[in-house]
Amino acid sequence: MHLQLTVNGNPREVDGAWEGESLLYVLRERLGLPGSKNACEQGECGSCSVYLDGVLVCSCLVLAAQAAGRDVVTVEGLAENGELHPIQKDFVEAGAVQCGFCTPGLIVATHELLARNPRPTDPEIREALAGNLCRCTGYEKILDAVRAAAVRNSRA
């Protein structure tokens, strides 16, 4: 199967993919973008979260073929000119990263939350991130990171 799609602003082509491959597999194994993670590959953990045409999706549940001709943004596409995105900085500073396997998905999900709700309350943050599992942190430091991002937004 041959595919064309845009990933992090760049047109990309994929050749020889098997029809059953997920978008996650193609990103990780064919496009050299393993930042999106594969903790469950069954839509339960959020570690594979990416934007597909601006919509937050679990890339493990999207067939690569469904992404043909569409626009994908992954965690690798959030930093600008080598500078960490402010949300990425917040995660680092808050101590929200332990093993970090949940982190890319959480950062993309947080990015999406703050884009539609720049100053979320705690219950809103919890609801928005309820689909992202983390086994290491107990979520406290992740909440701290998102709160810090929200505070920054209210100053802006």
Partner 1 sequence: MTPTKERTIAPPVRGGVGTSARRQDSVPKVKGEFAYSSDLWAEGMLWGATVRSPHPRAAIRSLDITDALTVSGVHAVLTHEDVPGRKLFGMEIVDQPVLAWDEIRYEGEPVALVAADHPENARRAADRLRVDYEELPPLVDPERAVEPDAPQLHASGNLIRHARIRCGDPAVTADVVIEGTYETAMQDQAFLGPESGLAVPAEDGGIDLYVATQWLHVDLEQLAASLGLPQDKVRITLAGVGGAFGAREDLSMQIHCCMLALYTGRPVKMMYSREESFFGHVHRHPARMHYEHGATREGELVYVKARIVLDGGAYASSSTAVCANATAFACGPYEVPNVQVDALAVYTNNPPCGAMRGFGAVQACFAYESQMDKLADALGMDPVELRMKNAMSTGSAMPTGQIVEGPAPVAELLRRVKEMSLPPAGHDAPLDLRSLPGGVSNTTHGEGIRRGVGYAIGFKNIAFSEGSDDFATARVRLFAAGGEPQVEVHSAAAEVGQGVGVVQIQVARTELGVERVTLLPADTTVGSAGSSSASRQTWMTGGAVKSACEAVRARLLERAAGELGGSPSDFSMEGGKIVSQTNGIEVSIADLLGRDSIEETREYRHRKTYPMDPETGQGDAHVAFAFAAHRAIVDVDTELGLVRVVELATAQDVGKAINPLSVEGQIEGGSAQGLGLALMEEIQVSNGRIRNPSFTDYLIPTVLDMPPMKIDVLELGDPEAPYGVKGVGEAPTISSTPAVIAALRDATGRALERAPVRPEDVVGLTEREVR
- Candidates 30, 42, 45, 70; CA nearest to 129 is 45
Q: How far apart are CA 129 and CA 20, in angstroms?
A: 28
110 is a contact residue toward ligand FES (CB under 6 A): no
Q: Which of 52, 73, 137, 148 binds ligand FES (CB under 6 A)?
A: 137
Identity of the amino acid at 148: A
Q: Do residues 120 and 61 make contact, with C-beta atoms less than 8 angstroms apart?
A: no
Residue from the set 7, 52, 134, 150 that interacts with partner 1 by CB under 8 A: 134
Q: Does 102 bind ligand FES (CB under 6 A)?
A: yes
Instruction: Give the contact letters, 137-156, x = binds to partner 1 (CB under 8 A), - = no.
Output: xxxxxxx-------------
How far does Cα 57 stand from its chain's mean position?
Answer: 8
Phi and psi, residue 33, nearest 5°: -120, 75
With CB cut-offs between 5 and 8 Å by kind, which of ligand FES, partner 1, none does residue 60 bind? ligand FES
Residue 48 interacts, among ligand FES, partner 1, none and using kind-specific CB cut-offs from 5 to 8 Å, with: ligand FES
Site for ligand FES in 36-65 (CB under 6 A): 38-41, 43-48, 58, 60
Please give the Cα distance from 87 to 148 (Å, whole number).
9
Q: Residue 25: phi, psi to the nearest 5?
A: -65, -45
Site residues (CB under 8 A) for partner 1?
Answer: 18, 20, 28-29, 32-42, 44-45, 47, 74-76, 79, 84, 88-89, 91-93, 95, 97-104, 107, 123, 125-127, 129-143
